Structure 1
Amino acid sequence: MTKPTSETAADEPSAPVDPNEPVERSPREIRLVMVGLVITMLLAMLDNLIIGTAMPTIVGELHGSEHMAWVVTAYTLATAVSTPIWGKLGDLYGRKGSFLISIGIFLAGSALSGLADSMTALIAFRAVQGLGAGGLMVGVMSIMGALVAPRDRGKYQGMFAAVMALATVGGPLIGGFITDHLSWRWTFYVNLPLGAVALAFVIATLKLPKVRSTAKIDYLGAILLTLGITSLVLITTWGGQEYAWGSKQILGLAALGAASLIGFCYVEQRAEEPVIPLGLFRNRNFTMVSVIGFIVGFAMFGAVAYLPLYQQIVQGASATNSGLLLMPMMFGMLVISLVVGQAVTKTGKYRIYPIIGTAVMAGGSLLLSTLAVDTGRFASACYMVVLGAGMGFLMQITMLVAQNSVELKDMGVASSSATLFRTIGGSFGVALFGALFNNQVKDTMAAGGGAAAGSGGGQPIDPATLLDPTKLKKLSDPVQDLVHHAVSNGMHTVFVWGAVISLVAVAAAVFLREVPLRGAGQGAPKDAAPEAQLEAAL
């Protein structure tokens, strides 16, 4: 099966190393490694946020507005399909090697994207970049899982919450500054020095036992999973936008996705080293946190996509500062994540936090569903703090529970599965919320169109004005009022459904069991299998 060997004679003993035993490191060594991991995570999160600000300039120079969506879709799709594969490769052949390779591919894709001279080339290079990006987040989480016992991991999760907040707020601002003062190409080139620093830290400080496996790679399972994920991402990307939901293209993708995923489940039951061992889902905690992670991605990406639109169109905020509009939500997420991390480290208990977090997330969504034309910025900021606080209870805890539910040899699979479910949840969230929002806006506009058209000289209302505050201000007051009400009604529908879906996460959290965290020094021994830990907890 697997034969672990020493990475370097100076670092590890020559005797075989048990892949289920964590490698003991001093706090100083862990902090040094964390520098490289934090920079890598920043790379993974900043990219799309920086590029989004530069997209109008990129499209104008490369003359390919009809393909603009594919610049993002190619990256997202490549990231999603490669995520579980990177996790399995790390488990089979060593986490450090696969992590370094993923960083290298990401940097190569970044450099090539900056050199692109056409939209076709840019889309292709963004796909290369996405293939590398799929291993960045998985590598960060699985390496941290290998170095730090679950009981102690809460001390470090605040770092990652801070990086997330920094990326969300700073990404658009950095992208706008680079585009205005340098060139859009530097939105890609900026990854190179950051990546070089991350590589240097990881190479110099990260020392892990190398695990070499003689098992065959599950190529058929990887292909079927890729087809299934690709179909799902394309359905959520194209449905209601490029093609009608009932079109043959969307129905065909749905059939292909269903057949691929059914085939994947069949193959994984017989593979020697499955890409995602289906037996993991027999563990109640792993299954429940997968559901919670999916819904967290659903709620977070939906909020990120539509809250700035409301604040720009209805509340008149500047589009230039769109990243700052989400700061209250990120603040709530960061503060609660820090507090929860310290509490988990101190007590070793975690079950209550997902229950509280999912309930608070549902409450935050309900509060945001009350957004109206006359809602002040302070009130909307408070509502966002509540939603962010709910996510703060969940963002790192879901990964922690997923990793604690598996043996160390499956840490990569656990990390990639948790990341994958969150990514797919985000994709579904943006698509579903988009459909709900657009339908509600259209209905409101149609209901009030007669009065607005009469006030505007009988001119039809261009839907593009909904996304352009500058054009909207040029319309008559009755038309502006109608658009404001339409957007507010759309936000109400989005967040009412967000609250309803969050209740599913509440139910999943209630079914979690308090399995002792490895490294807690109590309950089941830290090297016990998850099933043994579960029995000790009961």
Structure 2
Amino acid sequence: MTATVTRPTGTATDVAAPHEPAPAPHDPHPSHHDEMTHAEILRAMTGLMAALFTALISSTIVSTALPTIIGALHGTQRQYTWVITASLLATTVTTPIWGKLADLFSKKVLVQASIVVFVVGSIAAGLSESVPFLIACRVVQGIGMGGLTALAQAIMGAIVAPRQRGRYSGYLGAVMAVSTVSGPLLGGVIVDHLGWRWTFYVCVPLAVIALFVLQAQLHLPTVKRAVSIDYWGAVLITVTASLPLLWVTFAGTDFDWVSGQSALYLGATLLGAVLFVLVENRAAEPLVPLHVLRNRTAALVILASVAVGISLFGAATFLGQYFQLALGKTPTTAGLLTIPLMAGSMISSIGAGQIITRTGRWKIFLVLGGLLMAGGLFALGTVDHATPVWHTQVYMGLMGLGMGALTQNLVLAVQNTVDVRDIGASSASVAFFRSLGGAIGVSALGAVLATRVQDNVVTGLSALGPQAAAAAQQGGGTGTLDLADMPAPVRAIVRAAYGDATGRIFLIAAIVAVVAFVAVLFIKEVPLRTTVSQEASSPAAVEQAVAGAAGGTAPAVAQAAIPPEAPEVDEPALSPREAEALAVSEERRTGRPSARRDTPVVIEYDARTAGSSPARRDAVAAGRHRYPRRRD
């Protein structure tokens, strides 16, 4: 097999192309010639998807079971909120830590460790005899969930090129969407038939299966380099993320929203954020690389991720309770009524991923996703206790379509702008801010919901007499409302109060979703890379590959482009169609106008012998497209 290089004299030089590329010694990061095949990726993704599904579904599976859990453990309204918020908060503050560790240590070992942590937390939660112990177990679960959330994205970014990542991102997005919205359904079935403790036990077998599948199918190179963990950054990011969640939990109950205590919480949050930025600027291995956040695409993606987190977790948490408390449905029926949200998310996530892989266009799905999500939430903002169920389901379907198109493609957008060395931290940063948005959403929307329900109940019961109004005030303070034991007139007032208040929180979430829509409008669409490594698709990498082919150290490539400024290379005769194809391919790869429309220079492979050779396959893996062959 030979590669023909056109020189200034017009003579051809034959260069032997070895069958195996020569990797750089001691390369700590997998290069393009180490990329996994489609079958290998699917096998590894099976374990990742199983682990991610298990972790994410545990965030929402308790939402349907929570009234039963709090009643059985004699909990209060404040504890009710923190059973969900505790796991979200732990996930939020540990996600960037796991992501940074993924850039320093073996991703395979880390993802297995996170599964073990999650399993331990799940078993302990199922054995809980008090709400405080349950909250502590949910924190342990959240730590494991943070690892799975960050490492699933980081591992995919390390084994799949951005251009092909849309396909696999669609699969992960579908898992995230299905697990998030199917949690209430599964939780309702389990509570009705097995009891609330099994909402925690059911996650354990699937997590163990995922552990063994990953051990057998996931093969990644071990990263060995100097380790410098940003401990101060970890402490500051934990405190800074926790303070606003504590504020929205206690404000309005223990103290006023506008008060000295509120100012203290917000001031401490601002101070923590400033100190965190200062520490990260000085850290040798920062927890959140600020150069990634300075990237315009990354900044806009993070802003959109916060808004998506508020909307996504808020919907999954409060829709099931709306169906139970406002409409009087059973836990199982309430879970079944969330199917339109689940179906819409799954369809749009998988469909968008497949289309992106074929076309390379991804921004349109961010824009459409933001529009559909905001529109669906505005529609849900109109619901009350008398809204027909099918109306609510249509609105949920619209919201699901938007969420599915947004969630994974936001990660894809930011991963396409950073190199493989920063994929772990950048992916974790996006996941961190999405989880932070979810934690804030559950806490803030839950506080608004509780306040509105209490006010509506007091107003409604005032018509029944002073004693009923006093009883309602006391019930709102404890946060416990046992509808089954209430007289029919009182029960009707409470259901109406809850249904009317739920529409208000979706209206607030819709306003936040508009922020996500505006953010994605300003994201610049950059052509997706065709390699895992950013350098492999750069003009410098192409020039290096050409030099290697001339020196006999790299395989011949199918019409690999030489930079136009190389003075020693002459122009071969190309047909207009070949020149145009070459220019278009380069423009898609680099995102810049091609100068080759004026000076198209190529290296050719022997079309009669190199059609399916290892050399050509290596060239394609390196990010150099299969350009049209020259006609003899």
**TM-score, normalised by the number of residues in structure 1:** 0.86
Correspondence 1:108-147 to 2 at 5 A: 108-116=120-128, 118-147=130-159
Whichever structure has more helix as a proportion of its residues is 1
Query: SS state of the match for residue 210, structure 1?
Result: coil
Correspondence 1:400-419 to 2 at 5 A: 400-419=412-431
- Is the contact made by 1:38 and 1:160 (CA closer than 8 Å) also made in structure 2? yes
Correspondence 1:240-319 to 2 at 5 A: 240-241=252-253, 243-246=255-258, 250-319=262-331
Partner in structure 2 of residue 462 of structure 1: 472
Deviation at 1:284, TM superposition (A): 0.9
CA distance in 1, matches of 2:139, 2:106: 24
CA distance in 2, matches of 1:50, 1:409: 35
Partner in structure 1 of residue 351 of structure 2: 339
Amino acid at match of 2:352: V
CA distance in 2, matches of 1:482, 1:56: 19
1:502 matched to 2:557? The reply is no
CA 1:354–1:196 in structure 2 vs 1: closer, same or farther (change >3 Å)? same
Picking from 474, 484, 493, the partner of 2:487 is 474
1:364 matched to 2:376? The reply is yes
**Cα deviation digits, residues 65-87 of structure 1 (max 9, x gap):** 57555444433322221110000
Partner in structure 2 of residue 536 of structure 1: 591
Partner in structure 2 of residue 79 of structure 1: 91
Deviation at 1:305, TM superposition (A): 2.9
- Is the contact made by 1:515 and 1:537 (CA closer than 8 Å) also made in structure 2? no
CA distance in 1, matches of 2:266, 2:390: 43
CA distance in 1, matches of 2:328, 2:224: 58
Query: SS state of the match for residue 518, structure 1?
Result: coil
**Cα deviation digits, residues 474-511 of structure 1 (max 9, x gap):** 332xx566555544543443333333222222221111
Query: SS state of the match for residue 388, structure 1?
Result: helix
CA 1:268–1:325 in structure 2 vs 1: closer, same or farther (change >3 Å)? same
Greater displacement, 375-384 / 229-238? 229-238
CA distance in 1, matches of 2:590, 2:168: 28
CA 1:46–1:502 in structure 2 vs 1: closer, same or farther (change >3 Å)? closer
Partner in structure 1 of residue 58 of structure 2: 47
Partner in structure 1 of residue 556 of structure 2: none
Partner in structure 1 of residue 584 of structure 2: none
Aligned CA-pair RMSD = 3.4
Partner in structure 2 of residue 33 of structure 1: 44
- Is the contact made by 1:329 and 1:388 (CA closer than 8 Å) also made in structure 2? yes
CA distance in 2, matches of 1:242, 1:528: 61
CA distance in 2, matches of 1:118, 1:472: 24
Picking from 6, 13, 19, the partner of 2:29 is 19
Deviation at 1:524, TM superposition (A): 9.2
Greater displacement, 114-123 / 401-410? 114-123
Amino acid at match of 1:263: L
Picking from 430, 447, 454, the partner of 2:442 is 430
Query: SS state of the match for residue 224, structure 2?
Result: strand
Partner in structure 2 of residue 323 of structure 1: 335
Deviation at 1:21, TM superposition (A): 3.5
Deviation at 1:273, TM superposition (A): 0.9
**Cα deviation digits, residues 16-56 of structure 1 (max 9, x gap):** 23627454111111111011001101111122333445555
CA 1:242–1:83 in structure 2 vs 1: closer, same or farther (change >3 Å)? farther
Which structure 2 segments of 5+ residues have no match?
1-21, 541-586, 594-632
Partner in structure 2 of residue 202 of structure 1: 214
CA distance in 1, matches of 2:498, 2:433: 29
**Identity value in percent:** 38
- Is the contact made by 1:84 and 1:416 (CA closer than 8 Å) also made in structure 2? yes
Which structure has the bigger radius of gyration? Answer: 2
CA distance in 2, matches of 1:426, 1:167: 15
**Cα deviation digits, residues 89-111 of structure 1 (max 9, x gap):** 00112312221221122222233
Partner in structure 1 of residue 408 of structure 2: 396
Query: SS state of the match for residue 103, structure 2?
Result: helix
CA 1:489–1:119 in structure 2 vs 1: closer, same or farther (change >3 Å)? closer
CA distance in 2, matches of 1:115, 1:471: 27
CA distance in 2, matches of 1:326, 1:56: 18
Deviation at 1:195, TM superposition (A): 2.0
CA distance in 1, matches of 2:370, 2:470: 43
**TM-score, normalised by the number of residues in structure 2:** 0.74
Query: SS state of the match for residue 222, structure 1?
Result: helix
CA 1:124–1:369 in structure 2 vs 1: closer, same or farther (change >3 Å)? closer
Query: SS state of the match for residue 212, structure 1?
Result: coil
1:107 matched to 2:119? The reply is yes
Deviation at 1:435, TM superposition (A): 4.0
Partner in structure 1 of residue 555 of structure 2: none
CA 1:241–1:86 in structure 2 vs 1: closer, same or farther (change >3 Å)? farther
CA distance in 1, matches of 2:314, 2:154: 27
- Is the contact made by 1:21 and 1:527 (CA closer than 8 Å) also made in structure 2? no
Alignment size in residue pairs: 520
Correspondence 1:65-76 to 2 at 5 A: 67=79, 69-76=81-88
- Is the contact made by 2:182 and 2:338 (CA closer than 8 Å) also made in structure 1? no
Picking from 98, 121, 142, the partner of 2:110 is 98
CA 1:433–1:74 in structure 2 vs 1: closer, same or farther (change >3 Å)? closer
Deviation at 1:373, TM superposition (A): 4.3
Amino acid at match of 1:420: F
